[in-house]
Amino acid sequence: MSTALVLVSHSVKIAEGVVDLAGEMAPDVPILCGAGTLEGGLGTSVDQVTGAVERALVAADGVVVLADLGSAVLTVESALDLEDGWSGRVVLADAPFVEGAVAAAVTAQQGGDVAAVRAAAQEAGTMFTPEPVQVLPPPAADAPVTARVTVANPLGLHARPAAQLARAIADLGVPVSVGGVDGSSVLQLISLGATGGTELEVAAHGPGAPEAVRAVVGLIEGGFGEA
């Protein structure tokens, strides 16, 4: 099942900027702007939201909508109330606008359905804490496979390479931690603040762990095309 995003802001420029940011990390996900008034001014419009959602539904099975401020949320809720045919296919996420859009886009890129994409957006608000969220490895009889790797690209794990790494780790199907956080979470990877030259530990457990660790180390050493 494919999932699209619609971003509703009072400012078209803000929404378009977030569309660009999220789209950079999720190139296969339809991400549409439902911002501003019909005249392009500051504000929100039920017609703008409805039009964006209808276009998104042409490209995807379901849609997750994110809104920036309280009145934008009310506009989206009004659109949802008016469109009975959207039931179950279109949902509003109670999430931070930028972080939620990034997390939702990456989850949609990984094939998440509407429920998974909305959950990722809503969890994004808890991701940025003073210390990275530590991932406790699952109980295992065998020791974890670990390796240390130095971040090769000068800008480090900023948004684009973090998204590339998170997608690659999710595709491996093996739980992998990078620097002590969940490697499949783009927001947790960004929260590391790992710049060029930072040394990170990569760890994995269970079947396929050695291959997964080698693959992740290779990606980081490769510099994501920026080294």
User: For residue range 70-93, what is the model confidence (pLDDT) as tens digits?
Assistant: 899 999 999 999 988 898 899 999
> What is residue 127's predicted lDDT score, i.e. its pLDDT?
61
The CATH code of domain 3-126 reads 3.40.50.510
Domain boundaries, the chain: 3-126, 145-225
Mean pLDDT of 185-212: 91
Q: Is the pLDDT of residue 186 over 90?
A: no
Tell me the C-alpha distance between 25 and 30, whole Å. Answer: 12
User: What pLDDT is recorded for position 158?
Assistant: 86
Catalytic annotation present for 10: yes
- Taking a C-beta distance cutoff of 8 angstroms, is the pair 67, 97 a contact? yes
* Residue 214 pLDDT exceeds 80: yes
Give the residue-averaged pLDDT of 154-179.
90
Q: CA-CA distance, 7 to 160, in Å (whole number)?
A: 20
pLDDT digits (tens, 9 = 90+) for 112-166: 999 999 999 998 876 654 444 455 555 555 678 999 999 999 989 988 888 889 8
- Give the HSE-up count for residue 160: Cα atoms under 13 Å, Cβ half-sphere: 11
Q: Minimal CA–CA distance to 30: which of 121, 122, 119, 104?
A: 104
CATH architecture of 145-225: 2-Layer Sandwich (3.30)
* Residue with more model confidence, 11 or 191: 11
Q: Quick: pLDDT tens for 33-67.
A: 999 998 888 999 999 999 999 999 999 999 999 99
Give me the mean pLDDT over the 6-35 stretch.
95
Q: pLDDT at position 130, please?
A: 45
State which H helix or E strand residue 150 sits in. strand 145-150
List for the chain the helix, strand, coil content (%; round to 5): 45, 15, 35
Task: Pick the closest to residue 176 from 130, 211, 221, 125 (CA basis).
Answer: 211
A 10 A CB-CB count for 69 gives: 14
In Å, the largest CA–CA distance within the chain is 63
Choose, from 5, 10, 135, 174, the residue flagged as catalytic: 10
Question: Does residue 173 register a pLDDT over 60?
Answer: yes
Q: What is the token pair recorded at 122?
A: 């809503």
In the chain the first and final C-alpha atoms are separated, in Å, by 35
Residue 224 gets which letter from DSSP? G
* Amino acid 141: pLDDT: 53
The four Cα atoms 77, 79, 82, 87 give a dihedral, to 10 degrees, of -70
Question: Shortest CA distance to 92 belongs to which of 106, 107, 111, 78?
Answer: 78
